[in-house]
Amino acid sequence: MRIKIRLLIGTLLLTSSAFAQFVSGNLSLLTGQKITLEGFDGLKTYPISNTSLDEKGNFKLTYSKADYGIGYLKLADDKPLFVILSGEDIEITGNALSNTETIKVIKGKENQWFEQYAKEHPRREQALSAWIYLEKIYASESLFSVQKTPANLIKSEKLRIKKEDANFLANLTKDSYVGWFLPARQLVSSVSVIAQQRTDEIPATLAAFRALNYADQRLYKSGLLKDAIESHFWLIENSGRSIDSVFIEMRKSIDAMLVNLIKDEKKFNEVTNHLFDLLEKHSLFQASEHLALKVLNEVTCTIDSDLAKQLESYRAMKKGNIAPEIDFGNKSYLNGFPQNQFSNLTSINSPYTLVVFGASWCPKCEAELPELIQNYTKWKNLGIDVVYISLDTEPAAFEQVVKTYPFFAYCDYKKWDSQVVKDYYVSGTPTFYLLNNKREIILKPISISQMDAWADWVLVQGNK
């Protein structure tokens, strides 16, 4: 029996080693230090293997087929070195990871291509930027605009540089990982330059982002996933478009991304969650609302419960919907005093009502609410009343704050467990909803300044 077990273990070890590749080399200045090989898994990283450099600086690490993608070598006090984990053995030599001039890939064809492109491409980009700068001078300055020969030479050199870069990528082995990765990395890294200097390339770049398969395992293992999502939407936001056009383009991009993501539930949840947070953080609420409704209407994937709850607020509280009724009972104040003037939200008979969710413990409320008080009289004269819903839990804290408020305030002291908070899908403070006299949601301001801008544009200037 023991012999059989030994044979089984031996077979397993032989099998696992047969499917293992190696990353080895020599870093002569880092003897004795621990070195780790890490990989990417979507938006996260994970350790693959680790060892210590011997007294001569030699090391050997392993990786398997499950790690295929981009990896990076990491030491405690050194910058990482990225490597292509494509199924080939890799060998490097140098003094230290941070001393990139000394690093040389001596084994691993894909990594040698990667190393070559990493050195040549930035130089091409620098030269291209310089030629573009000169081209603008020769086109706009009367001193140079008559000089057709140098202008034509500049155009010719620009095309040559682009062609040289494109030819390098085109000559890579078609089914190699590096052949997929380098164009993808080039797409992501070029966004800032394209937005600022090569604006004529924006349409083609957006088309390339939309053609990218965000569920592709190669992208998931590349370390580019986060940058691809963020660069894609940053480019739309900074492409010089009107705000309406920005949201139209973002809706197109969201729709294109979801086509492949719905085929992979795990990636669908991870990518849409990150994108939703990104859009919210940048106050791109029309885009995040479109994403929320698209995701919630998707029947082929199960949405993570936390994400589903967050997204549901957009479906339930979107513009045009009727806001839930709020019963005030005897827990309301006006001008700092308990009162029974209003029994519920509907009984506030104003053309518009701004519902504000806040709390005495909320730092952002502390910054926003003085501005609300300052604008209240002006808004009241324009037909806007204010209802403040507090998430405080202690009557003393609530009463201390609302005694300075000239508008109606209510609190049931249940914080996040309050039925009002749940009905309105409040997940943070302050939160604002502007309603008309039918309780229809007509605006979800992100700040008091945005609310004041709406009041000026619509009620003062008469723009509907």
Count of CB atoms situated within 10 Å of the CB of 364: 13
Q: How is residue 100 written in tokens?
A: 């990139």
Q: Which among 225, 233, 226 is positioned nearest to 253, based on CA atoms?
A: 233
Q: Which among 162, 90, 107 is positioned nearest to 131, based on CA atoms?
A: 162
- Tokens 């077979």: give the residue: 11
Full strand arrangement of the beta sheet holding 352-358: 337-338, 332-334, 408-411, 384-390, 352-358, 431-436, 441-443
The residue type at 312: E
The residue type at 77: D
Q: Residue 344 and residue 342: Cα distance in Å, rounded?
A: 6
Q: Residue 216 and residue 225: Cα distance in Å, rounded?
A: 10
Q: How is residue 327 written in tokens?
A: 């019963």
Please state, for a pLDDT cut of 90, what percent of the chain lies above it: 58
Burial code of 411-443, b = ≥16 C-beta within 10 A, e = fewer?
bbeeeeebebbeebbbeebbbbbbbeeebebeb
- The string of DSSP codes covering 340-395 is -S-SBGGGS--SEEEEEEE-TT-HHHHHHHHHHHHHHHHHHHTTEEEEEEE--S-H
Please give the backbone phi and psi of residue 363, each rounded to the nearest 5 degrees, phi first.
-60, -40
Q: Residue 166 and residue 120: Cα distance in Å, rounded?
A: 12
| Partners of 105 in the β-ladder | 92
Q: How is residue 356 written in tokens?
A: 């504000």
Q: Residue 232 and residue 225: Cα distance in Å, rounded?
A: 11
What is the dihedral sign for C-alpha 212, 193, 274, 241? negative
Helix (H) or strand (E) holding 123: helix 109-140
Burial of 311: CB neighbours in 10 Å, binned 0-12, 13-18, 19+: buried
Whole-angstrom Cα Rg for the chain? 30
Per the CB < 8 A criterion, the answer to whether 321 and 440 are in contact is yes
Please state, in angstroms and as integers, the Cα–Cα distance from residue 329 to each residue in 43, 401, 412, 436, following that order.
Answer: 47, 20, 9, 22
Cis omega before residue 430 (within 30°)?
yes
Per the CB < 8 A criterion, the answer to whether 309 and 287 are in contact is no
- Greatest C-alpha distance within the chain: 93
Q: Which among 82, 24, 79, 77 is positioned nearest to 53, based on CA atoms?
A: 24
Please state, in angstroms and as integers, the Cα–Cα distance from residue 321 to each residue in 24, 92, 185, 354, 387, following that order.
Answer: 62, 62, 43, 15, 19
For the stretch 196-251, pLDDT in tens is 888 999 999 999 999 999 999 999 999 999 999 999 999 999 999 888 899 999 99
Which residues of the chain are under the pLDDT cut of 70?
1-19, 77, 299-300, 305-306, 310, 336
For the stretch 281-307, pLDDT in tens is 887 878 888 898 888 877 667 777 667
Per the CB < 8 A criterion, the answer to whether 183 and 170 are in contact is no
Tell me how long the chain is.
Answer: 464
At residue 11, the pLDDT reads: 47
At residue 299, the pLDDT reads: 62
At residue 16, the pLDDT reads: 44
| Partners of 462 in the β-ladder | none
At residue 12, the pLDDT reads: 45
Helices (H), 297-344: 305-316
Per the CB < 8 A criterion, the answer to whether 7 and 40 are in contact is no
- The string of DSSP codes covering 126-160 is HHHHHHHHHHHHHHH-HHHHT-HHHHHHHHHHHHH
Q: Residue 206 and residue 421: Cα distance in Å, rounded?
A: 39
Per the CB < 8 A criterion, the answer to whether 195 and 235 are in contact is yes
